[in-house]
Structure 1
Amino acid sequence: MELINNLGLGFTTVLTFQNLTYSFFGVLLGTLIGVLPGLGPLVAIAVLLPFTFALDPVSSMIMLAGIFYGAQYGGSTTAILINLPGEASSIVTTLDGHEMAKQGHAGKALATAAIASFFAGCVATVIIGLFAPPLAKLAFQFGPAEYFSLMVCGLIVSVVLASGSLVKAFGMMVLGLLLGIIGTDSQTGLQRFTFGIPELADGLSVAAIAMGLFGLGEIIRNLESVKSGSMQVSKVTSLMPTRQDLKDIFQPMVRGTMLGSFLGVLPGGGALLASFAAYALEKKISATPEQFGKGAIAGVAAPEAANNAGAQTSFIPMLTLGIPSNPVMALMISALVIQGIEPGPAVISEHPELFWGIIASMWVGNLMLLVLNLPLVGLWVKLVSIPYKFLFPIVIIFACIGVYSMGNSAVAVATMAGFGVFGYILKKLECEAAPMILGFILGPMMEGHMQRALLIARGDVFTFFREPISAALLILAAVALGLVLLPSFQKTRSTALVDED
């Protein structure tokens, strides 16, 4: 009954003209961002972050959330029709989705992606509503030692789940922790690594770093590999799946939803990992694995369900624990802090209209996406034909305006430019930037909790092992690190990377 009352509050909050408008704008913009290659929800949220200052917290978070999960929908459209994934999490969809399109089943593939995404979005929203409140109540039992251990565990898991070399992923995490040190020590008030630059007293801007690494870095890489010429767009016929099609996609859709919902909560997980994992699972358990890569409908349903579910359940640790599971959630935390709201377990009790409003908006947003996406397929494909030489300057201009307006600081713009070049170099070196941005976000928080825990314990470092929850989290981190160092695990990891490529 309590859940029903809370959902009633959420729908009362979201079903106002203002919030419905922002939800519609968010999912529409998210779909557009997902369709256009080289962009993504991270860039869009970072660019729009300064423009949400004037909105109330509920409206701004509803719009930003819509952009995030809307991008998961949009990326599949061009992945199926022109073999060009607009979003990284839609890469797997090209394997069978575009093959279906070449065989004359583009409409069936698009309908499968839309139905799977809608189903996963609805189920993931239920999961958030059921599991987030108990997790928030558990978080009230956490002290500084428990939070420190939780963040250590989160960083280790993000390294374990990162693609590529383990050494590179660990190095990126350490680099993020070092970048997070820049600024003023909260305990002593001393400035560290500011080099006499006043703008660095508050540390580096997470929006500037995120836009540089994931936005400008990706633009530079795209400029290097952009292709000219017209794209061959598959013809879309019937969008209505048959009863047999629905039967064929049901179980893959359910498995993808469950797997994506779980991986979305993990640090370093999210939509990208969920889509690859769901595809690998379906191929492994299928009675006809040889059909995968040749137009298997399960190869579209499972990853599309997984990436949408993973995108939405990643809100659970962000809202209840104040811990981002991926770079987009790190920006969401920044958006809440800017609005004067401290992310963590108190959000549900102190701002129930915000928490339940976001959950209800996911149902509304997913319905909007289902109604919008299929009729607008032609429009999305035409947008992809816009020459990239016209598209990327607009993105860069908005990025510069957004970063500068956050603090009226030219240093932030220079930071974004520097990390844009750095992001391009990381791509060349095959280093994943996600562990770095998570280390940058969690590092200062982890340091603060460690200092408070040691102050309470009068410098006794064994306090982290005396508290049961803290000790369990540290043991979990050690086990995860131990597993990834095993030769058998590293062999599996290498095999997965070869399959992914």
Structure 2
Amino acid sequence: MIENILYGFQIALSMENIIYAFIGVFVGTIIGMLPGLGPMTAIAIMIPMSYGMNPASALIMMAGVYYGSIFGGSTSSILLNAPGVSGTVATSFDGYPMAQQGKAGKALAVAAICSFAGGTLSVIALMLFAPYVSKLAISFGPTEYFALMILGLSAIAGLSEGSTVKALLSACVGLIVATIGIDGQTGTQRFTFGNASLYEGIDFLIVALGLFALAEVAQLVITRTKSMFTNKTSVGSLRLSKQDVKDISGPVGRHSILGFIIGVLPGAGATIASFMAYMGERKLSKDPSSFGKGNIKGVAAPETANNAATSGAFVPLLTLGIPGSGTTALLLGALLVVGVQPGPLMLQDHPDVFWGVIASMYIGNVFLLILNLPVIPLLAKILFIPKQILISLIVIFCLIGVYAVSFDTIHLLILVLFGIVGYFMRLYGFPAPPFILAFILGGMMEQSFRQAMTISNGAYTVFLKSGVSLTLLIIAALSLFGPSLWNLIRNGKSLFNKDISQGG
């Protein structure tokens, strides 16, 4: 193992590959900052550059683009409430309130440090356990994935921001929207209204940018005041106190592991990892009500997890040849273009590519930290732009980002529609995070459920036969009903003790 690691660093530390790693993370960071573009766009732009390149150099550059875009996506989430990539939506829940409170510098610094820590720790795990953890990815079938999605949905009550009923209604609408498109199993059209543009469903970024960015714009425009024309929001200090470091150390340790494991599972990825990390941290907190209002842990948890998940996603890609997401599918295509076939034989046939890419991630994460920390004060100057100009820029970036995904004008109308929906959700107190979470998990949950039913000939007991799925379902049930049962038991005990004392 040590010899392989040293060999990987020998490949990654060549001057040529250092330059390619820097180009990759730089391009990825810039594109990640622009709302709506994300890693798929960045990698698609860079693939033509890989023609004729050394395979190790090509993948080092592409990998840098991938985790660089996730790293940079937090900037627009924190400063504008317009997620640059889907994996940074959860970062905006507390990052944007911190920016509004004059702590934008601290929020960006926490995002950069936690992204670096999560990425680096997960690279260590990737280097040590990649051949072994790949077995975990194979062991997850439809029943395990369905149970995992149920566990994710069980945390919706924790995102209620007050009313659990409104959170559940919001999640139900999210599940309905997730069903739009052609049914992959039967081929029937669902809620497409005969429009070919809806056959493939609605892209996640359209929903996220509409519910968060355009809804924020609508609220600013409708409730505009004279102060809107002079933005006096302060950037704040980048310095973290000892208490801040103590607060983020726990989330970094916990969610580096969580993010890596979720990233290993094909189909899960950085978005689900960030949501699960955020909800898990909220449940562990002694003051869960502070989340969504500028809690530093609410930035640290998703930023650690989403960057850890990007490293984890390389496990099934390199060891099994299985792309777990659209982004890793593009990376698979890039590898095939340069003549490398990922899979179980890759460690034997192309050890320079495998170990060189893993070692390059250390270098890339250091580059990202060096690139991002010094420019945080410059990025935070966005807050000083007068709001009427900033609003125009947000709308333009959102429109360009959505149009760049499909080049279909109807998706711009859908974006505006979700912006209107997001505004009215805010107006009447319906939280957006449960909608987003249900939308993310809905498609995967339905597909896994139907596959499990097909395998078992309609027997629902199939979910109880697997130890992993049974454990996940029990945890989900405890997460949903545990607090209520505990309150009932505690109230019953207090009434019992009161009756005894009165009887005495």
**Both proteins in one fold, TM over 0.5:** yes
Residue in structure 1 matched with residue 470 of structure 2 by the alignment: 471
Alignment TM-score, normalising by the size of structure 1: 0.67
What does 1:330-479 align with in structure 2 at a 5 Å threshold?
Answer: 333-337=325-329, 363-373=362-372, 375-376=374-375, 378-479=377-478
Which AA in structure 2 matches 1:457?
S
Secondary structure of the corresponding residue to residue 478 of structure 1: helix
**How many Å separate the matches in 1 of 2:353 and 2:441?**
23
Q: Partners of 1:351 and 1:429 in 2: how far apart?
A: 54
Aligned AA for 2:124?
A: V
Deviations 1:366-408 (A, max 9, x none): 4234434554455335443222322333333343233234333
Q: Does 1:269 align with 2:267?
A: no
Q: Look up the match of 1:178.
A: 176
- Offset from partner CA, 1:120-165 (integer Å, 9 cap, x none): 6544543565567654421212222222222222222355466443
| Deviating more after overlay: 204-213 vs 2-11 | 2-11
**Equivalence for 1:165:** 163
One-letter amino acid of the counterpart of residue 335, structure 1: T
Q: 2:205 aligns with which of 183, 204, 207?
A: 207
Percent of pairs identical after alignment?
A: 29
Q: Secondary structure at the match of 1:195?
A: coil
CA distance in 1, matches of 2:10, 2:163: 46
Deviations 1:41-77 (A, max 9, x none): 7x3445x754643333955663353233345579889
Determine helix, strand or coil for the equivalent of 2:275: coil
- 1:90 is the counterpart of 2:92: no
Amino acid at match of 1:479: L
Task: Pick the aligned partner of 1:309 from 289, 304, 308.
Answer: 304
TM-score by length of 2: 0.66
1:220-369 matched pairs, under 5 angstroms: 220-224=218-222, 227-229=228-230, 231=232, 251-252=246-247, 254-261=249-256, 269=275, 306=301, 308-315=303-310, 333-337=325-329, 363-369=362-368
Q: Which blocks of at least 5 consecutive residues in structure 2 are unaligned?
A: 48-57, 81-90, 263-271, 318-323, 334-340, 491-504
**CA-CA distance at 1:418 after TM superposition:** 0.7
Q: Distance in 2 between matches of 1:404 and 1:460?
A: 44
Give 3-state SS (helix, strand or coil) of 1:368's partner.
Answer: helix
Q: CA deviation at 1:253?
A: 5.1
Paired residue type of 1:21: I
Residues 457 and 165 of structure 1: CA distance in aligned 2, closer, same or farther (over 3 Å) = same
Q: Is the 8 A contact 2:27 2:65 kept in 1?
A: yes
Computing the radius of gyration from Cα coordinates, the structure with the larger value is 2
Which runs of 5 or more structure 1 residues have no equivalent in the other structure?
34-40, 79-85, 285-292, 294-298, 323-331, 492-501
Question: 2:275 corresponds to which letter in structure 1?
Answer: G
Q: Distance in 2 between matches of 1:410 and 1:126?
A: 44
Mark the CA change 1:480 to 1:205 in structure 2 (over 3 Å): closer, same or farther.
same
Residues 147, 472 of structure 2: 8 Å contact kept: yes
Task: Output the CA distance in 1 between the equivalents of 2:372 and 2:178.
Answer: 40
- What does the per-residue CA deviation read over 1:344-387, in whole Å, with 9 as the maximum and x for residues that have no partner? xx988598999978865654454234434554455335443222
Return the alpha-carbon distance in structure 1 between the equivalents of residues 154 and 412 of structure 2.
Answer: 31
Aligned residues: 432
1:475 is displaced (CA, Å) by: 2.0
Q: How far apart, in 2, do the equivalents of 1:488 and 1:347 lie?
A: 52
CA distance in 1 between counterparts of 2:191 and 2:301 reads 42
Q: Which of residues 17, 20, 24 in structure 1 aligns to 2:19?
A: 17
